[in-house]
Amino acid sequence: MLDAKIPSGNLDNKWTDYKGHCKLVNPANKRKLEVIVVGTGLAGASAAASLGELGYKVKVFCFQDSPRRAHSIAAQGGINAAKNYQNDGDSVFRLFYDTIKGGDYRAREANVHRLAEVSVNIIDQCVAQGVPFAREYGGLLSNRSFGGTQVQRTFYAAGQTGQQLLIGAYQALERQVALGNVTQYARHEMLEIVMVDGKARGIIARNLVSGQLERHFGHAVLLCSGGYGNVFYLSTNAMGSNVTAAWKAHKQGAYFANPCFTQIHPTCIPVSGDHQSKLTLMSESLRNDGRIWVPKKQGDNRKPNEIPEEERDYYLERRYPAFGNLVPRDVASRAAKERCDAGYGVGSSKQAVYLDYAAAIERYGRTEITKQGRDLASVSKEEIIALGKDVVKEKYGNLFDMYEKITGENPYEVPMRIYPAVHYTMGGLWVDYELMTTVKGLYALGEANFSDHGANRLGASALMQGLADGYFVIPYTIGNYLADEIYNKPISTEHEAFAAAEKAVADRLKTLINIKGNTSVETFHKRLGKIIWDKCGMARNEEGLKQAIADVQQLKKEFWSDVKIPGAIDEFNPELDKAGRVADFIELGELMCKDALNRNESCGGHFREESQTEDGEALRHDDQYMYVAAWEYAGDSNWNLHKEELKYEVIKPSQRNYK
Amino acid sequence: MEHYNMNLNLKVWRQKNSKTNGEFKMYRVENISSEMSFLEMFDVLNEQLIAAGDEPIAFDHDCREGICGMCSMYINGKPHGPWQANTTCQLHMRAFKDGDTIVVEPWRANAFPVIKDLVVDRSAFDRIIQAGGYVSVNTGNAVDGNAIPINKDNADAAFAAAMCIGCGACVAACKNSSAMLFLSAKVSHLALLPQGEPERHSRVLNMVAQMDKEGFGACTNTGACEATCPKEISISNIARLNQEYLSASLVAEK
C-alpha cells in the first residue's frame, strides 16, 4: 500500500496544522537552492513565480515560444471558489463535497479539502494581480453556475477565464524574470530526469531551435506539464500538449496513477472530416442557458427550426430533472452518446446533438424589456429577440463567434451542434499530500498529477487546482523537503549522471531519426488515437481493451521500424519533436488500456459496459476498487500495480444521483 | 452552408534558419475541403512533402482555437489572412476558391527575426512585459477580492484590452513595425484598474523604453494594427498610452 503522508487530525485542520509544523528554509539558504519548473501553464507559472518571490533560484522551461502560450490559456468557462459572495449556501465544505462527489468518490479527501480551503485565496490573489474578472454594476465580482453544482461559485472573465488567469500568472512570472530570480527557457523541451543517489537532481532539455541538448541542475524538479489528452489524437488540447515530461519521470520511477480516468467533455464542436487536427470546446457555461435536445423521431432529417417543440426530446431534462442540463460532464457525455448510438443524432454525421439558445434569447429579451419599465404586451417578438441576442452576446459572444468561424453557421439563428470530445485527464503522476511523486525531489502539479478530481472533474475546477498547487501548496510543501537540502551543494552538470542521461537522450534521438521508414509521425498518431478512442473512450469493455493492448503493441513495433522523420537533429525540427511525443503516447496508451482493464467497475469518466445499472447509469464497486491504481514501470510493456487505499472519513460514498 | 473541394497553388516563404537567405517556393495541394482550417490545409501539404522526401514547412501553432497567439502567418498580404478579427488557425478554407494562389510569408519585422520558414522569434514581447507589465504583488499579499469595488465600465474596458493574445499581428501589419498596440493594451489593462495605480507611471515609462530598445518602430496612426488585430484591440488604447506616457513624463521630470 502506498502512503500518501496525509497529516493526522481533523480534516478541517490538516492543512493548517501542516503549515504550522512543516520545515522552513531561511531566506539566506533559499538563495542557494535551485528549483526546476517544467511547464508554464497555471500550475507552472504560478509555482515558478511564487518560488522566485520566496527567493529560490528558479529555472522555468516551456516548449512554446513564450510561457504565455501554455494551454491553460484556452480554458473558457471559469474558476470555482468557495467565497459564497452570492449568499446561496456555499462553503468550503460544499465545494469539497461537490468535488468529491463529482469525482465519483475516487479522489483523496485531504487533498480536495485543502483545495477548497485555498480556493478563496486564489480569487483574492488574481484580483490583486489585475485579472479583470466579470463584475456587476455595483463593482463587485460576478458569479455563474457550472455543471454538477447547485450554487453560483464560478468566477469568470467572459469566455476567456483561462487566458486572463494565465496572463496574471505569466506577468507575475515575468516580474521574477526581470528581478533575476527566475531564468526562463522558452522553446525548450524536457527529455529526461537526472537521478543522483535516488533523488531527482536535474533535467536534460533540448533547445528546440538549435536542437542542442542542455544539462540543468536543480535541488528539486517540478513537473507542471499538463495532461495527456492528445493520446486520443483528437482532443481539445493544444497540438503540442504532450505526456513526455511525465512519461520520462514515470520511467525513472514515478508511479502513474489512474491513467484510464479521462474526461470526455460533452459540449464540443463535432468532427467534420478526416482532415480534422483538433477539436474545439464550447464552454460548459453554455449549458447554463442553452437547452440540449435531439428529435424524438429517429433519423429525422428536418432542419432544427422546422422541428416543433413537442417533437423535441430534451433528454437531459427528461432523465435528470433535478440537475437537467447541468449534470456533470461524464453524465452529459454518455447521455449524448446514448442518443446518437440509438439513431437520434443530428447533422450530416449523425454524431451530434443540438445545443439551443432560442429559449434563453427570448427569456433575456423579456427581462431587458421589464428592466426598461415597458409593458411586454406592447413589444414585438422581434424586438424581444434582438435585445435577448445582445445579452447572450455579452455573456458568450466570443464562443458564438468561434462556433461560427469553425462551422460557418450562425448560432444566434440555428442551434449549435455539439458532441463529446476528449478534454482533460484526471489521471497523472501519483503524488502524496505534499505533491511529491514516488521519486524523491520530483513533484507534479496541476493536470500532470492525479490527486484532486477522482474519476471525473467538475467544470471550473482545473483552473482552481492548477493555481492552488502553484500559488498556495508547493511554496509550503517544497520547503519541507528543501530544508534538508541546504547541506547539499549544487551538483556539477559534469557529474556522470548528467553525462549518462544526456547520452541516453542523444541515442534515442539518433535511433528515431535513423529509422528512415515510410510512414509519417502524424499517421501513427492518428492510428493510436483511433484505437484508444474506439476501445478506451466513452465506453470500455474487457474484450475491446484486450484487443486495444494488442493493437497498441503492434503499432509500437511498426512505429519503431517504419517511422519517417525528415530533417536533422541539430536544427529546428518539429517533426522530430512530435515523433518523440508520439512514441511516449503509444506507451502510455497501452498503460491506459491496462488500467481500464484492471478497473472492472464504472466510475466517473471510466464506464465499463459490464458494470451498469438497469437504466444505464454507471455502477461503482466500492468493495473492490476504492483505491488509486498507481502503476510502477517495470520495463517494456510491463507494470506493477500499487494501490493507495481511499479512506473516506468525512463523506460517506453513495451512488451518485443527479435525478 | 455548402461544402466544396478545391485545388490551390501556394507560394510559401522558405528559409532554413536565421543566418541564411530565404526564397518563395511554389506548391500545389489538391482536393482541399472548404471545411478544413487553414493550418489543416498546411498539415496536408506537409504530409505531402514528407511523403515526397522533402522537408515540411515549419510554422508556429499550438491551441488551434484562436487564443494562444502562437500562429503567425502573413497570408495574401495580411497577417492572419483575409477574415476580420481572426487568427490563422481559425481561418477556414471556405475563404478561398478553387484555383486560387495563396501567398504565405512569416511576420516581417526587424524585432521579430525569422527562426525558420514561417517561424519568428517574438521574445521581444516577453521582455516588454518584463519591463513593467505586471502588478508587483507577491503571492499571499492580497486583500479580499471584493474589498475594492471596480466600476463595471472600467473593468470591462480593462478586460477588452487584456484580451490581447500577444501574437504580433499588429507589428506585422504596421509599415513601421510598431508595437504600440501590444504595449498600449497592457498599459491600458493595468492603468484602468485600481490595482495598477501604484506603478502606473514607472510602468509606462519602462515599457516604452524597452519597446524602443527592441527595435520596434514609431506609431504614425495608420490604424493598420487595429484593423488586423484578431481580438479587435482598439486603437484608442494607443491614445491612452500616449496620455499615460505624457503624464508620467511630467511627473518624472519634477
Nearest CA in chain A to B131: A178
A66 with B122: Cβ contact below 8 A:
yes
The C-alpha atoms of residue A555 and residue A521 are separated, in whole angstroms, by 12
Give the CA radius of gyration of chain B.
Answer: 21
Chain B, nearest residue to A209 by Cα = B115
Query: Where are the strands (E) in A135-278, listed by range?
Result: 154-155, 182-185, 188-196, 199-207, 213-217, 220-223, 256-257, 262-268
CB spacing of B36 vs A275 below 8 angstroms: yes
pLDDT over 70, % of chain B: 99
How far, in Å, CA of B171 to CA of B217, rounded?
9
Contact B67 A163 (CB under 8 A): yes
Task: Look at residue B136 in the predicted model and tell me its pLDDT.
Answer: 98
How far does B56 lie from chain A, in Å, by closest CA? 8
Report yes or no: A238 at the B interface, CB cutoff 8 Å.
yes
**Cell numbers representing residue A317 in the block:** 431534462
Distance between CA atoms of A242 and A384, rounded to whole angstroms?
47
Interface contact flag, A65 B133, Cβ < 8 Å: no
Distance of alpha carbon A364 from alpha carbon A371, whole angstroms:
10
A127, A141, A267, A525: which to substitute to probe chain B, counting the most B Cβ within 10 Å?
A: A127
A124 touches B at CB < 8 Å: yes
* Shortest Cα–Cα distance, A205 to chain B (Å): 19
Contact B64/A53, CB-based, under 8 Å?
no
Q: Are strands A79-80 and A154-155 parallel, antiparallel or unpaired?
A: antiparallel
Is residue A107 within a helix (H) or strand (E), and if so which, with residue range? none
Residues with Cβ within 8 Å of residue A256, at least 6 apart in sequence: A246, A250, A427, A428, A429, A430, A588, A591, A630, A631, A633
| b/e A598-625 (16+ beta carbons within 10 angstroms → b) | ebebbbbbbbbeebeeeeebbbbebeeb
Partners of A633 in the β-ladder: A639
Phi then psi for residue A140, to 5 deg, are -95, 165
- Which residues on chain A are in Cβ contact (under 8 Å) with B121? 65
Q: What is the pLDDT of residue A616?
A: 87
Residue whose entry in the numeric block shows the C-alpha cell 535551485: A34
Structural domains of chain B ordered from first start = 5-115 (3.10.20.30), 122-253 (1.10.1060.10)
Minimal CA separation from B246 to chain A, in Å: 23
**Nearest CA-CA partner of B203 in B100, B129, B122, B116:** B129
**What ranges do the domains of chain A cover?**
266-422, 498-626
Q: Do B139 and A407 touch (CB under 8 A)?
A: no
The strand pairing partners of A436, in sequence order, are A443
Q: Quick check: helix, strand or coil at residue A135?
A: strand
| Partner B contacted by A476 (CB < 8 A) | no
Question: In chain B, what is the straight-line distance between the N-terminal and C-terminal CA atoms, in Å?
Answer: 63
C-alpha cell at A36: 526546476
d(CA A540, CA A532): 10
Q: Do A408 and B92 touch (CB under 8 A)?
A: yes
Distances (CA, A) of A590 to A313, A448, A601, A644: 39, 18, 19, 22
Best probe of the B interface among A85, A129, A303, by most B CBs < 10 A, is: A129
Local structure of A274: helix, strand or coil: coil
State the Cα–Cα distance between residues B135 and B138, nearest whole angstrom.
9
Contacts of A58 in chain B (CB under 8 A): none
Treating both helix axes as pointing N-terminal to C-terminal, what angle do A161-178 and B152-162 enclose, rounded to 10 degrees? 70
CA dist A405 and B189 (Å) reads: 27
For residue A574, give the chain B residue with the closest CA.
B58
Cross-chain Cβ contact B64/A157 below 8 Å: no
Profile chain A (659 residues) by mean pLDDT over runs of 10 residues.
95 98 96 98 98 98 98 94 97 97 96 98 98 96 84 92 98 98 98 98 98 98 98 97 98 98 95 92 87 96 95 96 90 94 93 96 95 92 95 88 92 96 97 98 98 94 98 98 95 98 98 98 97 96 98 98 98 98 98 98 96 92 97 98 97 88
DSSP string, A20-52: HHS----HHHHTT-EEEEE--SHHHHHHHHHHH
Is residue A447 within 8 A of residue A38, CB to CB? The reply is no
Q: How far is B35 from chain A (nearest CA, A)?
A: 7
Interface test with A, best of B3, B107, B134 (most A CBs within 10 A): B134
Pairwise CA distance, residues A27 & A258, whole Å: 38
Count other Cβ atoms within 10 Å, centred on residue A467. 34
Q: What is the DSSP string of A280-321?
A: -B--TTHHHH-EEEEESSTT--S-GGGS-GGGEE-HHHHH-T
Q: Which of B40, B67, B155 sits opposite A277 (nearest CB)?
A: B40
DSSP secondary structure string, A593-641?
A: HHHHHH--S-BTTB-BTTSB-TTS-B---HHHH-EEEEEEE-STT-EEE
Interface touch A471/B193, C-beta < 8 Å: no
**CA of A564: which chain B residue's CA is closest?**
B50
Q: Are B201 and B248 in contact (CB under 8 A)?
A: yes
The per-residue DSSP string of A436-468 comes to B-SSBTEEE-GGGB-SSSTTSPPTT-HHHHHHI
| Chain A residues 496-555 with CB within 8 Å of chain B | 520, 522-523
A-to-B residue pairs, Cβ atoms closer than 8 angstroms = 218
- The one-letter code for the residue type at B115 is I
Q: What is the pLDDT of residue B253?
A: 62
Question: With an 8 Å Cβ cutoff, are B135 and A74 in contact?
Answer: no
pLDDT digits (tens, 9 = 90+) for B75-126: 999 999 999 999 999 999 999 999 999 999 999 999 999 999 999 999 999 9
* Residue A211 host element (H or E): none
Sequence-ordered list of residues with C-beta below 8 angstroms from that of B225, at least 6 positions apart, any chain: B169, B170, B171, B173, B174, B178, B180, B181, B233, B235
Listed in order, strand segments (DSSP E) in A39-175 are 57-61, 79-80, 154-155
Give the H/E segment covering residue A337. helix A329-341
CA distance A638 to A652: 35
Q: Answer yes or no: is pLDDT of B230 > 70.
A: yes
Residues of A in contact with B94 (CB under 8 A): 408
Contact: A572, B60; criterion CB under 8 Å: no
Is the domain A266-422 a CATH 3.90.700.10 member? yes
Q: What is the DSSP letter of B92?
A: B
Reported as a single tens digit per residue, the pLDDT across B21-54 is 999 999 999 999 999 999 999 999 999 999 999 9
Q: Least CB-CB distance to B33: which of A172, A273, A407?
A: A273
CA pair distance B168, A59, nearest whole angstrom: 26
- Binary contact (B152, A572; C-beta < 8 A): no
Dist. CA A153–CA A132, nearest whole Å: 17
Q: Which three cell numbers stand for residue A262?
A: 479521462
Distance to chain A for B251, nearest Cα, Å: 24
Residue of B2, B65, B154, B232 for testing the chain A interface, max A β-carbons within 10 Å: B65
| Residues A307, A314: Cα–Cα separation, whole Å | 13
Cα distance from N-terminal residue to C-terminal residue, chain A: 36
| Closest chain B residue by Cα to residue A168 | B134
Substitution target from B29, B62, B136, B148 for chain A, most A beta carbons within 10 A:
B62
In this structure, the number of other CB atoms found within 10 A of the CB of residue A236 comes to: 27
Interface of A with B in 189-218 (CB under 8 A): 209
Test B58 with A572 for CB contact under 8 angstroms: yes
- Which residues of chain A neighbour B47 with C-beta distances below 8 Å? 520, 522-523
Cβ atoms of residues B165 and B69 within 8 Å: yes
Of B50, B65, B130, the CB nearest to A564: B50
User: Distance (Å) from the C-alpha of residue B167 to the closest C-alpha of chain A?
Assistant: 10
Question: Which A residues, 401 through 430, put their C-beta within 8 Å of a C-beta on chain B?
Answer: 401-402, 405-409
For A329, other C-beta atoms within 10 Å of its C-beta total 27
CATH 2.120.10.10 fits A498-626, yes or no: no
Using CB atoms and an 8 Å cut-off, which of residues 597-656 of chain A contact chain B? none
Please name the residue that has the C-alpha cell 481539445: A236
- B199 to chain A, closest Cα gap in Å: 12
Contact A278 B56 (CB under 8 A): no
Mutate to test the interface with B, among A87, A142, A175, A403 (most CBs of B within 10 A): A175
What is the crossing angle of helices A109-129 and A161-178, to 10°?
70
- Would you say how long chain A is, in residues? 659
The grid cell for A263 is: 474526461
Residue A473 DSSP class: I
> Hey, what amino acid is at A393?
K
Neighbouring residues of A381: CB distance < 8 A, sequence distance ≥ 6: A362
The DSSP string of A402-415 is: HHHHHHS--TTTSP
The Cα A563–Cα B55 span in angstroms is 15
Q: Quick one: closest CA in A to B58, which residue?
A: A574
B1, pLDDT greater than 70: no
Neighbours of B112 (CB within 10 A): 24
Q: How far is CA A542 from CA A80, A535, A547, A604, A622, in A?
A: 37, 9, 9, 18, 19
